[in-house]
Amino acid sequence: MKVYYDQDADLKYIRNCRVAVLGYGSQGHAHACNLHDSGVSVVVGLRPESASAGAAGQAGLKVLSVPEAVAQADLVMMLIPDENQEQVYREQVLPSIRKAATLGFAHGFNIHYEQIEPRQDLDVIMVAPKGPGHLVRSTFQEGKGVPALVAVHQDCSGKALGLALAYASAIGAGRSGVIHTSFREETETDLFGEQAVLCGGLTALIQAGFETLVEAGYAPEMAYFECLHELKLIIDLIYEGGLANMRYSISNTAEYGDLTRGPRVIGEPSRQAMRRILQDVQDGTFAREFVLENRAGRPVMKARRRQSREHELERIGQQLREMMPWIGAQRLVKTPQQ
């Protein structure tokens, strides 16, 4: 497998390009600001009523309507939510996009599951940072970068990979590593990773640990520190040097408990569940469910979000974090409730 770095990217591909970033959310703001700081000509395409228009303008970026931004672009980057991309492509991108322009994605969902079938004259690329958008921006500003995946779906010009690498470099990913993959591999591994490990697996693990201690009569504050707060310190150690690095730092008691009890928590039933989750991703079951959920107005998402917000873990967490104001001072994300 080939990993590319800044020295492998030729920035002329992106410097000769007018880029339209559609959407100014988690990824959109990071890509647009990083490109701008790298000297790339970029405009942001938003809905007229969009709440993000003010923020984009304050960051020194030109904001246009989606069709206007698309019409003047050589590269149109689709950084709106996956569930809105098909409609926006059909109604606002396709009528305005130039002949032989490039259509870009940060996730392969709509191409891989054929929700969008791009016009034949377009190049189609992906530059998918392997991290949340707010880190893509803050890491870039620190002179570092979040790694990214690049892929090519259509290459009419013969320059699609060159442009993808140059774009990855301009948003900072070439500082830490850019992996060449396919839309299929990115989509399936990304969905599996976020469902089974990074988001789904992790939050379920935290919640189950918290509930087990609370059910057994321990104070919820204790359970919060033990099962959630300390996790960051452990992850920081794993991130900088792998599992062994973390195990070197913890006590022998903790390490023995880790090595012998961890596989009981994530045993054969959990591995079976992971295989089924992967299968649902591979055979389109998850994609169909997500597309239909959105068409129905997101009833499951709304109910589960509410249930989760009302959980004792979140209430206790808010109280305890108020006692640690430095956490709030260094926030990466501001959610609408705050």
Phi/psi at 332 (nearest 5 deg)? -85, -30
107 part of the active site:
yes
Per CB under 5 A, which of residues 156..215 are in contact with Mg ion?
Answer: 190, 194
CB of 61 to Mg ion, least distance (A): 24
Which residue has the closest beta carbon to ligand NAD? 25
CB of 205 to Mg ion, least distance (A): 16
Q: Tell me the number of residues near ligand NAD by CB under 6 A.
A: 24
CB nearer Mg ion, residue 74 or residue 190: 190
Selected range binding ligand NAD among 76-84, 138-146, 155-163, 179-187, rule: CB under 6 A: 76-84
Q: Which is nearer to Mg ion, 86 or 190 (CB)?
A: 190
Q: Cβ neighbours of residue 199 under 8 Å, at least 6 residues apart?
A: none
Distance CA 94, CA 51 (A): 24
Alpha-carbon distance of 101 to 47, in angstroms, equals 22
Residue 211 vs residues 82, 87, 206, 268, 328: alpha-carbon distances, Å: 33, 41, 9, 22, 25
Q: Is 27 in the site for ligand NAD (CB under 6 A)?
A: yes
Contact string 111-150 vs ligand NAD (x = CB under 6 A): -----------------xx--xx-----------------
What burial letters (b/e) apply to 158-189, b meaning 16+ CB within 10 Å? Answer: ebbbbbbbbbbbbbbbbbbbbbebebeebbbb
Name the region of 143 (left: φ>0; alpha: ψ -120 to 50; beta: rest): left
Q: Does residue 106 belong to the site contacting ligand NAD (CB under 6 A)?
A: yes
Q: Are 161 and 153 in contact (CB under 8 A)?
A: no
Query: What is the token pair recorded at 229?
Result: 């707060």
Residue 28 makes contact with ligand NAD by CB under 6 A: yes
**Of 68, 197, 175, the residue nearest 129 (C-alpha):** 175
**Among the listed residues 14, 17, 23, 152, the single contact to ligand NAD using CB under 6 A:** 23
Amino acid residing at 123: D
DSSP-based three-state secondary structure for 23: coil
Type of residue found at 147: P
Residues in 78-97 that interact with ligand NAD by CB under 6 A: 79-82, 84, 88
Shortest Å, Cβ 234 to ligand NAD: 22
172 touches ligand NAD by CB under 6 A: no
> Does 54 engage in binding with ligand NAD (CB under 6 A)?
no
Nearer to ligand NAD (CB atom), residue 27 or residue 169: 27
Tokens of 31: 């890509």
**Closest to 93 measured CA to CA, from 72, 114, 109, 111:** 72
How far is it, in rounded angstroms, from Cα 222 to Cα 245? 26
CB of 25 to ligand NAD, least distance (A): 2
Q: Under the criterion CB under 6 A, does residue 50 sit at the interface with ligand NAD?
A: yes
CA 181/CA 90 separation, integer angstroms:
26
Minimal distance, residue 253 CB to ligand NAD, in Å: 37
From 29, 107, 112, 153, active-site residue: 107
* Residue number, 194 or 314, with CB nearest to ligand NAD: 194
Least distance from ligand NAD to the Cβ atom of residue 4, Å = 18
CB of 303 to ligand NAD, least distance (A): 20
Catalytic annotation, residues:
107
Per CB under 5 A, residues contacting Mg ion are 190, 194
Per CB under 6 A, residues contacting ligand NAD are 22-28, 46-47, 50, 52, 66, 79-82, 84, 88, 106-107, 128-129, 132-133
